[in-house]
Amino acid sequence: MDNLVEIILATNNENKRIEILDIFKDNNLNRLNVLIPEEVLGVKIDTKETGDTLEQNAYLKAKNLFELTKKTVISDDTGLEIEYLSNFPGVHSARFAGENASDEENRKKVLDLMRGVPENMRKAKFRTIICLIHNGIEHYFEGICTGKILEKEKGLHGFGYDPIFLPDGHTKSFAEMHPKEKNTISHRAIAIKKLAEYLKNYFLIGNST
């Protein structure tokens, strides 16, 4: 493929790569080749998320991968921010119920803390930050999806906090939605679309005419 641009994604999660490639394709970014670290370095990379913010964690993961490869890299970090809990779990979303907590344990902790809280005080939002490092310079892209915390789990799709999050303007939780439907409104999809638009303008790598 002519003028192929390679980007390395700081994750070992193949589903994330598929999601990004789908959105890139929808935005006519057909000249991008998204790789994962193992394909470039021969090993999986696991960066400790020690930052105090989503931005810091996204940067730490991107910086580590950039230093190892010296190539264009992207990473993301996502948190669920609940207004009633002073925007917790936020950056601690993956470890809210403990360092090795499961998704189910994290959801249970949230539901326990929110038990009896009235509907008008259950506002929450998912927030994703993507960090792109190109030529040693970082750029950030944010995606936000607002909604509320449900009183119980609903749905079998998705992962993380999806079964207890109802996005504004919808009657189904993220976990009740088909992945394609979720990806039209999700926080991560919004951030990826912003990244795609930047890459299209910066690299001028849309479809050839």
Active site residues: 77
Q: What are 112-115's contacts with CB under 8 Å, separation 24+? A: 113/85, 114/82, 114/84, 114/85, 114/149, 114/151, 115/151
Amino acid at site 126: F
Query: Strands, DSSP E only, in 24-172?
Result: 32-35, 73-82, 88-90, 123-134, 137-149, 165-167
Amino acid at site 55: E
